[in-house]
Structure formats: structure tokens, C-alpha cells
A and B are shown apart, each in its own frame.
Chain A
Amino acid sequence: MGAQTIFDLSQPGRGAGAQRPSPAAVDDLPAELRRDAAPRLPQVSELQALRHYTNLSRANFSIDSQFYPLGSCTMKYNPRGAHRAASEPGFLTRHPLAPASVSQGFLACLHDLQEILKNAAGMPAMSLTPMAGAQGEFAGVAMIRAWHDAQGDASRREILVPAGAHGTNPATAAMCGCTVREVAVRDHGDVDLDALKAAVGANTAGLMMTNPSTCGVFERRVTDIAAIVHDAGGLLYYDGANLNAILGKAKPGDMGFDVLHFNLHKTFATPHGGGGPGAGPVGATARLAPFLPGPIVERTDGGYQWAEPPQSIGRLSAFMGNAGILLRALAYALMLGTEGERRVGEFATLNANYLAARLKDAGFDLAWPQRRASHEFIITLAALARRHGVTAMDFAKRLLDFGVHAPTTYFPLMVPECLLIEPTETECKEELDAFVAAMERILAEARDDPETVRTAPHTMPVKRLDDVKAARELDLRWRPQ
């Protein structure tokens, strides 16, 4: 396919005539504010554009076409029914600022979703507006900060994170004007409680963590962690990145967390769209509820209404976040029901433990073999890298040739040469077995023909790409020859 862009197809005077409105003159725009040269956008026929983008789509991996065992990303099936439900004309044409009196259907949907998420979180309050996990994290840390300020304790500006936390956690803390301190994790994957006790103090705003952790194991002493942080005057933030593991099985609110976010694009099966949109609703305990970002939906005798929490950290977007994603998540949750939610956690865990057992039998090293896998697990290829000079990245790239999207590589940072593998509950046994077979085959190649692995992929539209050149010789836009 090379890299023929839409601009290379352009011819002066060509266009998609059916898309043009009837010409209209506007003669009252001041001349000095008008543009003189037209932007160089493509001039192509409708069919040319259609073919170009259809063909580009085929250069992608996607859930609809490949298995995606991408750890910490929960790449499960995105039901088409949910997509169609959110695409009802009444929803697509609703203006965000339409009066509530003519928005009762939409508001009822949001209210239903708030209730479902409150139940899954084990928390009494929920705001749907954050547009991604990172924005949910931002809301949560901003709420923690605002709560301390409201207690007259503005000195609490330090956020603790376990070693191996996702990069957004420290980045979020910094964005909220807080500093970050890492707490060590012990060699069985749990947080080091002595290190935590030493770290908390009068500056502690709170602790951010996932559970199951980024190590792919359930943090067994989570209630002790909560007690240590609470006793020191801090609050606990639950990062919902790994909630799929325990959906319907355990609730963050019961573990002692004060505020959390969901990743609806993970746990509630909304499509990732090649990088977004997502949605990151935040839930809170009663004492943090007044600080939630607005707007939220309230049910009154007169119907559903928008409301702003009394001490809200404020609005995080112009309108109602990624409303269409919220509708898709509701559609999915309605199809699951409460029983279906529980089975998500169960079968996600079953698939991960099955894959872990099979890969261990095939000779791969589990990072924490003594632990139960959650919905995901980590293998380390450190020994393999030493023996054959084949890295985790080489393995990941070679998997692409077998029609499998690479697992998450080099995360968490504390495990050398690691692959973080999350199969999700929607994959069948045959798919998991095929993955094991591919891994076994690559393992044999690493022994017998390491060059094939080191130079992979071989069957993609391009060979391995030069990232260094991309960053050194910046080419961020097409230019005419």
C-alpha cells in the first residue's frame, strides 16, 4: 500500500458534488477578517475517499478482526447492539443544551447508568462526566485535594502510589498540583506495609491504587492499607483500570476506597475507537460526594433534572462528557443484568488463569507463580533474552504475524522483559489455545531461528518502524512535493 495519502489522490477541480449545499453569498463579513488562500484540503470524488479509507481500515488490527490479549486494557467484544442503541436518531440529534423538559429520555438513561455504577462500585454517589480514565483520575485527586482544603488542611499535597503504578497516576497528581511518592511493592506483588507506614504523614493527601494491582494480583491486605492511610488523615483513590477482574465479585467501596473511576471502555465494553473516546465516571463515598464534578442527574417528582454537587470541583468539559459512550455502557449493562456482571469477573479470571497455567506448562516464566492470576498475569522473558537475545518486544512483534495483537510490553516497569496478558471473558477456549500454540512456536523460533523473531513482523503492511528517525526528523504533516 506504501503510504499514498488522500492528498496524493487530489486533483484540482474534483470533489464530492452531492455533499455541497446550494451556494449562498455572505457579503457582510469584513474583508480584513476573510481568508485569502484556500486551505489545501483534498479534492477527491466520494468513491475515491470511500476506497481510500476502507483500505486504510484494513491496515488495522481490531477486536472485530483479531485477538487482543492486551494487559490492563480489557479488549473485550464491543456489542454492536449497544452501538446501534446509542445511534437512535433521537439521541444523535439531541442538542446538549436542549432544555431538560425535552430531554427526559436521555436523562433517564444517565440516571439508570448512575444507579448501576453506584451498585458496582459500592458507593452512594456517581458523576458520569469524566471523558476518560485519566480525567476520572483527575477528578478524584482534585476531589481529595478539595476535601482536605475544606477541612482547613491545605498542607496535604502528597499523593502516594505503589511502585509499578500506571503512568497516569503520577501525571494526574502533578496536574492537580500534588507531589508523588512511590511505595515499594514486595516480591509477592503486594504493597509493602512497612514502607507505607513510613511514607504516610501530615502531608499525605491520599493513595492511588488499582486492585487487582498492576502486578495482575489481588492486593490481599487492601483493608490494612486503607486503615494505614485513613489513620494518617489521607484518602484512598481506586483506579478502575482492572475492575473487570472483580466486577460483581467485590466492590471498591467495601475495601475502604473513598473515590474511584470506572473505565467504561474497558469494563463496560464500549469501543476504543483507535485511541478514544472512552469514559471515566467517578464514584464517591458520602463525605466526598459534595465534591463530585457536575453535572449529575437527579430524579425528582417533576422528572429528571441536572444538578451540580454543592462543593463541586467544577465542570470538566463543556457539556456532558462523552454522552454517547455512556449510552453504550448502559446498553451493555442492561443486557448483562446483575447475574451477567458477576459472570464477567468470573470468566475473565477463568480465562486468565487458564492461559497462565498453559503458558507455564509450555515453559514460560510467570512473574508471580505462587499467586493466583486476576483477569491478567505477567510473564517475564528475561531468561530467554539472556539466552537467545530475543526480547519481549521481539516476541510482541512476532505475535502480530500469527494474527494476535501483542500483549502489553514492558509494563509494569519493575518486571524485566515482561508481557502483561489479559484475555478477557469474551474469548473462547479455541482462541486461547491458538494463542498458546503461537507462543510455543515463537519460543521454538527463539531457540532455533532467533533472527526471524528479532526482525518481526514479516506479514504486516510495514516492517518494523524507525521510531528514532520519527522523533529526530519530525514529519507531522503532508506537504506538496
Chain B
Amino acid sequence: MPFIPHTAADTAAMLRAIGVADIEALFDEIPDRLRSTPSGTPRAGLSEMEMRRRFAERAAQDATGPCFVGAGCYDHHIPAAVWDLASRGEFMTAYTPYQAEASQGTLQVIYEFQTMLCELTGMDACNASVYEGGAGLAEAVLMAVRANRKAARAGWPRTVPMAGAVHPLYVQATRSIVCNQGIDVPMLPYGDDGRVDLTALDGLAAPPVALVVQQPNFFGVLEDVDAIADWAAERGTLLVACVNPLSLALLKPPSAWGSAGADIVCGDGQPLGVPMASGGPSFGFLCSRQALVRQLPGRIVGRTEDAHGEPGFTLTLQAREQHIRRAKATSNICTNQGLLVTAATIHMSLLGAAGLREVAAASCAKTRELIHALRRPRRFSAPCFHECVIDLGCPATPVVEALARDGVLGGLALGPYFAELAHCVLVCATERRTSAEIERFATALRGALSN
């Protein structure tokens, strides 16, 4: 009984208080034929030491050399203090802060988080986070369709096109989630520069309800966001911006795109202090203009006053949420990734604007060093951020496999996602990659290509 504290005397006293002979009697309302008899091979419980040994062996199996894969999950430095603090039991084992008076720590952290994300994105409001980037994009699309009243009045089709280089796995997740509400998510083509080609939208009878663009896009390429934002604003199309929050330390915030800015901003917070950890848990964020605040899904924290007029924090606008509004809620979500938000808030406090800017710049510089060292052509001509598509001139999947066997995670082979890019890899070098590691990758790649 690894975590059950009852002594035999406790159990006996408790059964007496209830008035039954044994524990089995407490299950007498379950029909006999539904009571499980042990099936399969019994599995003996392990001690913590034995369990840890098994995990350590398996984790060691997966240890690889330097990571040059990005594609939505990045190997950045995380200050030691971030997870020392976030792993405190008071943060890690707390429940959702519904009892506000007993949850001021978590609530204030979320309020600070909301502020930091508003600062990075330039938007008016931010929610307390959603699951992660892909599911967050789905929520952003659903929100845009709800929020575009003009489109609803005019009867525009429920179509939300995505720029061709939005993360393909985000697109897949979004489609799975929004298709049940009759929302169509077509892909726009990308050009030889790697940027979206909006001319595909010319000549439509009605403009789309919303448009999704990612900056930097999946190829690492920087989109012409001013032109895209103006295109959307002129037509009454809501613009959903999917962004890497770290990049916003250097890049123009979505609120400043074009003359009107983006309407909804989403993305994945992993670059802000969350380990790669197989991609999860991470967190998604969702920011909006003030006018759309009541369409945001999920939790939101507000500052208020207590009965003595002192400041305090509480969950607010709960009338949007499933536990109040039920079938009419903005979403069924009842999670915010609280622990990851806590880590990200601490991370941003330690790095500050200057630190984030330096990490972003160092990552861009390392990626340029990598491109130079690999000596293979870039596939797309437009400027890139800290990721880049490289053309290997031969099918990329076996090369990436060979590099992995050689101890280098040498980018992501793009064939499974874009058939026309089967010879290409998407590579990334964060600030953590050393020149020696870059040289090791370059050497390994030359070896793999010459075989």
C-alpha cells in the first residue's frame, strides 16, 4: 500500500463507525457481475527505487547528441531557479484557484503572466493559457468565427484560410477540433520566398471570416505581416496571428502589424522556460483586443478588492465558462496550464526584455552560423528568424535517420509534411548550440551525404 496510511486498527475503527463488517461491504451497490475479478497477470508494485531505475534506464536510451530540430519546440537555456521555484509543492500541488482567498499565489502569478504576454504581443488582454500551441490555434479560430459579427450578419461562409507555412501539426490539430462545427480550413499556397501568397484569395465571392498567419512561419521565414494585416482589415476579415513569444523580444508585436494590427494572437509558450520534454506539457496563450475579451475561452484572472478594500486577485468573467454556461460556453476547456505558466512567468522575470532579446538574437546568429557551416542552399529566399529550410538535394528522411544514429538530431525532414519538400530539412540552432556542435553536425552531414 504505497501511499495509503491506514493501520489495521484505523481500518477496524472506521468500519465500526460506518457499521459494516469489511471494506467489501461498501461495494454492495455494485451488481455482482460488474465486480472485477483480477484479470491478466498480476503486476507487483515497485518500490520508488526500482521504479526510478527503470525510468533512468529508459531515459538514458533516448539521450541524443546536440539538437538542431526546432519546429515548434526549442532547446533554450532555462535558469535553474525557474523549475526550483515552479516545483515547490505550493505551486505544483495546488488546485485550480476557484477558492481565491486560498489561492492568491497562483492567481497573482497568472495576473503577472497575463501582463507579460500583453506586453510581448502588444494586445489588450490575455487569458490564463490553454493546452498548447496547436489546440490553442483551434481555440483562436473558433473564437474568431464567434467574434466576427459582421461575417455572421452578411452570411459569409465559415471559412478560415491558413497561410501555407503555418505549422502543419497545428493545422492538423485545428482541423480535428473545428471541423465538427462546420468550419473549413483551407491552405493558401506559399511562394518561392517561403511567404504566403494572398492572391489565391482574390476573386472570392465573400471574404473569409478570419485568416491565420504564423510569424516566423513554420519554415522560419518572416512573413510580410503589414501587408497581410492590411489585407484583412480592408475586408473585415479577423486576423489570427500565431507567434513565437520569444521572437517578439525582437520583432514587431502583432498589435502593430499594418495599420490595424492583429485581432487575436496565439502561440506556444514553450520557448519561455519550458523543457522540450517530448513536447508536453507546454502551454498555449491567447491574447486579443479589448473588444473581444468576452469571446476568449478559458480562465482569466482579474485584480479586485477584498471586503476590507485591500487589493487581491480572482478568476473573472466566469460566465463565459463551461461550469456556468454549460452548452453555451465559449469552450469546454477547464484547464489552464498553470504550472507551465508559473515557470514562464518566473523565466520572463529573470530574463527581462533585454535577456529575451539577447537569447533571440543569439539564436538567430547561431542559425546563420549553422547555415554557413552546412554549405547547402536555402530553399526559400525571404529572410529567416532562427530556423531555416535547407535543400539537401536528395531524399532527406534517410539522411536525418543516419544523422540520428550518428548522435546528431540534424533537423526535421519535411517530406512527411510537404511532399514537394522531400529533399529538405528544417534546421534550428538556439543560443545553446556551440560552434563545436555546429561543426560536428556539418561533418556528420557531409558524411551522410557522401554515403
Residues of B within 8 A of A320 (CB): 278-280
The answer to whether B153 has its CB under 8 Å from any CB of chain A is: no
Contact among A116, A167, A461, A476 for B326, CB-based, below 8 A: A167
Q: Which of B30, B46, B94 contacts A249 (CB 8 A)?
A: B30
Please state if B62 and A59 are interface contacts (CB–CB under 8 Å).
Answer: no
In the bound complex, how far is the Cα of B46 from the Cα of A339, in angstroms? Answer: 11
A41 touches B18 (CB 8 A): no
Asked if B362 contacts A24 (CB within 8 A), the reply is: yes
Which of A250, A274, A347, A469 contacts B91 (CB under 8 A)?
A274
In the complex, whether B419 has a CB less than 8 A from a CB of chain A is: no
B350 touches A19 (CB 8 A): yes
A406 to B96, CA, bound (A): 12
Q: B404 touching A323 by the CB < 8 A rule?
A: no
Which residues of A have CB within 8 Å of B364? 24, 26, 29
B79 near A132: Cβ-Cβ < 8 Å:
no
A89-97, A229-237, A382-390: which one contacts chain B?
Answer: A89-97
Question: A25–B365 contact, CB under 8 A?
Answer: yes
Number of interface residues of B (CB under 8 A): 198
How far does the alpha carbon of A31 sit from the alpha carbon of B281 in the complex, in Å? Answer: 35
In the complex, the answer to whether B42 meets A339 with C-beta atoms within 8 Å is yes
B17 within 8 A of A: yes
CB < 8 Å: which of A58, A122, A276 contacts B337? Answer: A276
Which residues of A430-475 have CB atoms within 8 Å of chain B's CB atoms? 455, 457, 460-467, 469-471, 473-475
In residues 131-183 of chain B, which contact A (Cβ within 8 Å)?
131-135, 142, 167, 169-170, 172-173, 175-177, 179-182
Q: Determine whether the beta carbon of B34 is less than 8 Å from that of A255.
A: yes
Which A residues from 57 to 74 make CB contacts under 8 A with B?
A: 57-66, 68, 70, 73
Is B126 positioned at the interface, with any CB of A under 8 Å from its CB? yes
Docked pose: A350 CA to B22 CA in angstroms: 9
B100 CB–A CB distance under 8 Å: yes
Closest to B322 in A: A171
CA distance A127 to B13 in the complex (A): 42
CA distance A477 to B117 in the complex (A): 9
B203 adjacent to chain A (CB < 8 Å):
no
Interface: B361 (CB within 8 A): yes
User: Which residue of chain A has the shortest Cβ distance to B90 in the bound complex?
Assistant: A57
B42 in complex: contacting residue of A62, A108, A251, A338, CB < 8 Å: A338
Chain A CB within 8 A of B450 CB:
no
Query: What residues of B have a CB within 8 angstroms of the CB of A475 in the complex?
Result: 302-304
**Interface contact A469-B305, CB-CB below 8 Å:** yes
Stretch touching chain A among B205-213, B309-317, B439-447: B309-317
Chain B residues within an 8 Å CB radius of A336 = 2, 45
Query: A46–B167 contact, CB under 8 A?
Result: no
Which residues on B sit within 8 Å (CB–CB) of A327? 55
Contact B331 A273 (CB under 8 A): no
If A41-B116, A318-B132, A466-B304 touch, whether A23 touches B62 (CB-CB below 8 Å) is no
- Of B95, B283, B307, B400, the contact of A68 (CB 8 Å cutoff): B95
Binds A, one of B229-237, B293-301, B373-381: B293-301
Q: Are B252 and A97 in contact (CB under 8 A)?
A: no
Check if B196 is an interface residue, CB within 8 A of chain A: no
CB atoms of B180 and A145 under 8 A apart: yes
**Contacts A119-B40, A170-B326, A249-B30 given; does A131 touch B280 at CB 8 Å:** yes
Q: Are B69 and A274 in touch, CB under 8 angstroms?
A: no
Contact present for B404 and A29 (CB under 8 Å):
no
Distance of A184 from chain B, by nearest CB (Å) = 16
- Any chain B CB within 8 A of the CB of A427? yes
Residue pairs across A and B with CB atoms within 8 Å: the count is 674
**Is B106 close to A, CB under 8 A?**
yes
Q: Is B29 an interface residue (CB 8 A)?
A: yes
Cross-interface CB contact of A63 among B33, B35, B93, B300, cutoff 8 Å: B93
CA distance A208 to B183 in the complex (A): 25
Candidates A98, A171, A465; contact of B329 at CB < 8 Å? A171
Tell me the nearest residue of chain A to B55, going by C-beta.
A85
Residue of B nearest to A470 (CB): B304
Interchain CB contact under 8 A, B279 and A477: no
* A21/B17 contact (C-beta < 8 A), A168-B322, A323-B277, A478-B112 known: no
Q: Check if B29 sits within 8 Å of A350, measured CB to CB.
A: no
B79 touches A19 (CB 8 A): yes
Complex interface residues of chain A between 35 and 84 (CB less than 8 A to chain B): 35-36, 38-44, 46, 49-50, 52-54, 56-66, 68, 70, 73, 75-79, 81, 83-84
Shortest Cβ distance from B370 into chain A, in angstroms?
13
B residues 213-240 with Cβ under 8 Å of A?
222, 225-226
Does chain B have a CB within 8 A of A429? yes
B55, A331: Cβ atoms closer than 8 Å: yes
Q: Which residues of B are found within 8 Å of A84, using beta-carbon distances?
A: 52
From B89, B99, B338, give the contact of A64 (CB < 8 A): B89
Give B275's nearest chain A residue, CB to CB.
A92
With the chains together, A301 CA to B253 CA distance in Å?
50
* Residue among B17, B179, B299, B326 having the largest count of chain A Cβ atoms under 10 Å: B326
Whether B338 lies near A274 (C-beta < 8 A) is yes
Quick check: A138 and B102 within 8 Å, CB to CB?
no
Provided the pairs A33-B222, A34-B251, A134-B333 are in contact, do residues A106 and B361 lie with their beta carbons within 8 angstroms? no
* Complex interface residues of chain B between 334 and 392 (CB less than 8 A to chain A): 334-340, 342, 345-346, 348-359, 361-362, 364-366, 368, 383, 385
Q: Are B176 and A49 in contact (CB under 8 A)?
A: no
Judge whether A335 and B47 touch: CB under 8 Å: yes
- Which residue of A49, A137, A396 contacts B99 across the interface (Cβ within 8 Å)? A396
Task: Please indicate the chain B residues that have their CB under 8 angstroms from the CB of A457 in the complex.
Answer: 101-102
A397 near B101: Cβ-Cβ < 8 Å = yes
Interface code B276-294, partner A: CB below 8 Å = 1, 0 otherwise?
Answer: 1111110100000000010
Given contacts A26-B364, A372-B26, contact A132 B334 (CB under 8 A): yes
B99 touches A275 (CB 8 A): no
Q: Answer whether residue A217 sits at the interface, using C-beta atoms and an 8 A cutoff.
A: yes
Complex contact A61–B102 (CB within 8 A): yes
Q: State which of A7, A134, A218, A249 has its C-beta within 8 Å of the C-beta of B332.
A: A134
**A351 to B6 Cα, complex, angstroms:** 10
Q: Does B436 count as interface, using CB distance less than 8 angstroms?
A: no
Q: Which residues of chain B are within 8 angstroms of A299 by Cβ–Cβ distance?
A: none
Name the residue of chain A whose CB is nearest to the CB of B91. Answer: A57
A-B contact pairs, 30 of them (CB 8 A): A5-B111, A20-B355, A28-B383, A35-B253, A44-B350, A60-B91, A61-B102, A62-B89, A62-B94, A98-B409, A105-B62, A135-B135, A168-B323, A171-B325, A177-B180, A269-B3, A271-B92, A273-B340, A275-B95, A322-B131, A324-B277, A357-B17, A429-B5, A463-B307, A465-B101, A465-B306, A465-B307, A469-B305, A471-B317, A476-B300
Nearest 10 pairs between A and B by C-beta? A319-B279, A64-B89, A96-B279, A314-B176, A273-B339, A337-B45, A90-B59, A105-B58, A275-B338, A88-B59
If A59-B103, A88-B56, A95-B75 are given as contacts, then 5 extra A-B residue pairs at C-beta distance below 8 Å, sorted by A number, are A73-B95, A119-B40, A132-B334, A171-B332, A318-B279
